[in-house]
Structure 1
Amino acid sequence: MQSQKLNSLQLELLKVYSFEPKEEDLLAIKKLLADYFSLKLQKNIQKAVSEKNITEDDLDSWINE
């Protein structure tokens, strides 16, 4: 098995967890990360839709595939 180096995000999260945060803090951190990546995904989708002239019908048909 090949060992892999941790990326910068993983290292930062290890620093957070080393302080043994409370459960409510962990949930807040998870929500912050989920919100951040959700917003990032939404922006990337909007950019792709705009640049490639993707319509709502296209998106709907892809969802239903």
Structure 2
Amino acid sequence: MDTAQTIPTRLSNLQMELLKLYSYNVSENELKEIQKLLANYFSKKIDTEMDLLWEDNNWSDETIESWKSEHLRGKPAL
């Protein structure tokens, strides 16, 4: 049985754009700034998505508290 997974050979549009930057030498400080910029960008996107989930599902602090006491783990298969 062949269990090897196929690795995609196409790069995403984001990867292609980032590759364009590789032709430039940047200082360590600039590199850290770029990393922080990317992290902040994706962090904001996640925050926005979470806000939408909360709004769409009418979640509240009480919802979170109720989740703390839920037991979602099933019994292990024998």
TM-score, structure 1 normalization: 0.80
Question: Aligned residue pairs: how many?
Answer: 65
Change (3 A) 1:48 1:7: same
Q: Which residue of 2 aligns with 1:27?
A: 32
Instruction: Provide the C-alpha distance between the structure 1 equivalents of 2:10 and 2:40, rounded to a whole number of angstroms.
Output: 26
Q: Which residue of 1 aligns with 2:51?
A: 46
4+ long deviations beyond 4 Å: 60-63
More helix by share: 1
**Larger radius of gyration between Structure 1 and Structure 2:** 2
Instruction: Provide the C-alpha distance between the structure 1 equivalents of 2:23 and 2:66, rounded to a whole number of angstroms.
Output: 46
Query: Residue 42 of structure 2 is aligned with which of 16, 37, 60?
Result: 37
Letter in 1 for 2:16: L
Comparing both chains, which one has the higher relative contact order based on Cα–Cα distances under 8 Å and sequence gaps of 6 or more? 1
Letter in 1 for 2:43: S
TM-score, structure 2 normalization: 0.68
Q: Percent identity?
A: 38
Segments of 5+ residues of structure 1 without an aligned counterpart are: none
